[in-house]
Amino acid sequence: MSALAKWFKNQGCKVSGYDRTSTPLTRELESSGIEIHYKDSLDMVPEEVISSSNDTLIVYTPAIPIDHKEFNYFKDQEYTIKKRSQVLGEITSDVYSVAVAGTHGKTTTSSMIAHLLRFGGKNVTAFLGGIATNYNTNYLEGDLSTPDAICVVEADEYDRSFLQLHPDYAVVTAMDADHLDIYGEKESLTKSFLDFMLLVPEKGTRLLNNKLAKISNALSYGLDHGNAFASNIRVSEGAFIFDFQSGDTIIKDLILNQPGNHNVENAVAAIQVCLHFDISTELIKKGLSEYKGVRRRFEYIIRTEKLVYVDDYAHHPVEIEAFLGSLKMLYPSKKLTAIFQPHLFTRTRDFVDGFAQSLSQADEVLLLDIYPAREKPIPGVTSEIIFDKVSAQKKMATKESLMTYLDKNELEVLATIGAGDIDTLVEPIKQKLEQV
């Protein structure tokens, strides 16, 4: 949403909006002249929005709860209302679009593609789902009006939003069960991804992770096999080094500073996309080595000999499994403490066993209350249902008791995990740990 806000601002539009909480990102938008409020009240809506319904576009995401007062007012007053994905589809409908979808990995992969295209001198615009550390933004501005324009879009599967896009090159990273509150069963989710890939025109390209079911006219990528693949993967000084092969193209000794085999897979997809645009292997190799990742995707907050603190957006068991597995691979002899905030009551209910199993890789686990986002509580669904099944040393915690715990316990590798407002704890935790 913030990337779209930046786009509209750059087009000369007056932009304002609502968010649930203030964050560094919303404060950045405010500093650019975008008016944001944090209370659901019509009194907070700018006067020009109330008085000019015919000249106002309301853009929303499904994260807005159904009982949101402002949103329902706009509906009742028959404002022009469009989903984020609809607007994104309209912006990119006449531009060559690379759309990256997947239940995991889409933010990292799309940011890698955008970075390597920009590094390779291409005219790229990107709407990303996270802050690309290289550019400190989730919106890369290019010139969409020229024939050489390329637009990289993160394609969100929630609520089938990605079916509003117009991909010329579609990438699918993963199709694990998720958003079952919308899809009901995994089969319905899978069908939605297949429908997304069918949006690609005949002359377009489809690229799928080789763990997924094969479909006709699609290329595959992954580790050790596929149309494009990584091999000879090794770890050196915190970086993953690997070789890439696609047909006759071989790139040796690529350096990726984002840990984990899952990120090597993401890099393989990004490289394959960039070869499609004729970026040289030399620029790809150098650009990848300079890729700094996405904020809250394996983001080092503290990295010293005595203490490592990493923050990650992981909110699905598969993501947590990969994240904690990467930490254990990098720091096998150190105690790993994981702080996890579950995201959504439905997701907690649907994947309780997976959460418990993936979190049990840590040596100790601190569990916070569920972050509800758009949802109302579900009777019997609390963090305790995960807690009861975790086999590691464990403790229930509040945001307040967490700070006391960090004061009194020796830490070696610390991880904060989750997609809710746990990110607001990162800076206070950092400051607390730096005082020790």
Region 32-57: mean pLDDT is 94
Domain boundary among 78, 111, 135: 78
Strands of the 137-140 sheet, one edge to the other: 137-140, 124-132, 150-155, 96-101, 169-172, 205-209, 219-223, 228-236, 239-246, 249-256
Same domain, 227 and 95: yes
pLDDT at 4: 93
Instruction: Look at residue 124 and give its three-state secondary structure.
Output: strand
182 pLDDT tier (thresholds 50, 70, 90): low
* Mean per-residue pLDDT, 348-375: 94
Q: What is the CATH number of the domain that holds 41?
A: 3.40.50.720
The string over 75-101, giving b where at least 16 C-beta atoms fall within 10 Å of a residue's C-beta and e elsewhere, is: eeeebeebbbbebbbebbeebbbbbbb
Distance set, CA 50 to CA 33, 201, 373 (Å): 19, 41, 26
Q: Are residues 241 and 280 in the same domain?
A: yes
* pLDDT for position 383: 95
Q: Given pLDDT bands bounded at 50, 70 and 90, which one contains residue 24?
A: confident
Task: Tell me if 199 sits within 8 A of 167, measured CB to CB.
Answer: yes
Domain boundary among the residues 269, 289, 309 is at 289
Residue 177, pLDDT score: 55
- Is residue 138 domain-shared with residue 278, that is, in the same domain? yes
Task: Please answer whether residues 104 and 269 qualify as being in contact, where contact means their C-beta atoms are separated by less than 8 angstroms.
Answer: no
Same domain, 335 and 368: yes
Residue 124 has pLDDT above 90, yes or no: yes
Do residues 117 and 27 share a domain? no
Q: What is the pLDDT at residue 413? A: 95
Confidence of residue 164 (pLDDT cuts 50, 70, 90): confident
281 and 217 inside one domain? yes
Q: Tens of pLDDT along 252-273?
A: 999 999 888 889 999 999 999 9
For position 258, which CATH number holds?
3.40.1190.10
Same domain assignment for residues 267 and 385: no
Length of the chain: 436
For the whole prediction, is pTM greater than 0.75? Answer: yes
Asked whether residue 294 is assigned to any structural domain, the reply reads no
Q: With contact defined as beta carbons under 8 Å apart, do 104 and 262 qualify?
A: yes
pLDDT above 80: residue 176: no
Output helix, strand, coil percentages for the chain, rounded to the nearest 5.
40, 25, 35
Q: Does residue 134 belong to any structural domain of this protein?
A: yes
Domain closes at, from 60, 78, 96: 78
The percentage of residues in the chain with a pLDDT greater than 90, rounded to a whole number, is: 69
Using an 8 Å Cβ cutoff, are 414 and 308 in contact? yes
Provide the pLDDT confidence category of residue 183 given band limits of 50, 70 and 90: low
| pLDDT above 70 as % of the chain | 97
**Pair (365, 317) in one structural domain:** yes
Report residue 161's pLDDT band, with 50, 70 and 90 as the boundaries: confident
The whole domain housing 73 covers 2-78
Same domain? For 327 and 247 the reply is: no
Q: In the 3-class helix/strand/coil scheme, how is 338-365 assigned residue by residue?
A: EEECCECHHHHHHCHHHHHHHHCCCCEE
**Domain contains 155:** yes
- The secondary element (H helix, E strand) that includes residue 265 is helix 261-276
DSSP three-state, residue 78 = coil
Question: Does residue 244 belong to any structural domain of this protein?
Answer: yes
* In a domain? residue 361: yes
Q: What is the pLDDT of residues 73-104, one digit of tens each?
A: 999 999 999 998 889 999 989 999 999 998 88
Domain match, 278 and 364 both? no
- The answer to whether residue 409 is domain-embedded is yes
Counting Cα atoms < 13 Å in the Cβ hemisphere of 114 gives: 34
Minimum mean pLDDT among 22-26, 76-80, 166-170, 396-400: which range? 22-26
Q: What CATH number is associated with residue 331?
A: 3.90.190.20
Give how many domains the chain has, as a whole number. Answer: 3
Residue 305 CA to residue 211 CA, distance in Å, equals 37
CB contact at 8 A, 315 and 419: yes
Give the tens place of pLDDT for each residue, 304-350.
989 999 999 999 898 899 899 989 988 999 999 999 999 999 999 99
The answer to the question of residue 340 being in a domain is: yes
User: What is the distance in angstroms between the CA of the first residue and the CA of the last residue of the chain?
Assistant: 38
Same domain, yes or no: 167 and 307: no
Q: Are residues 61 and 92 in the same domain?
A: no
Written as six digits, the tokens of 287 are 């650009």
Average pLDDT over residues 423-432: 92
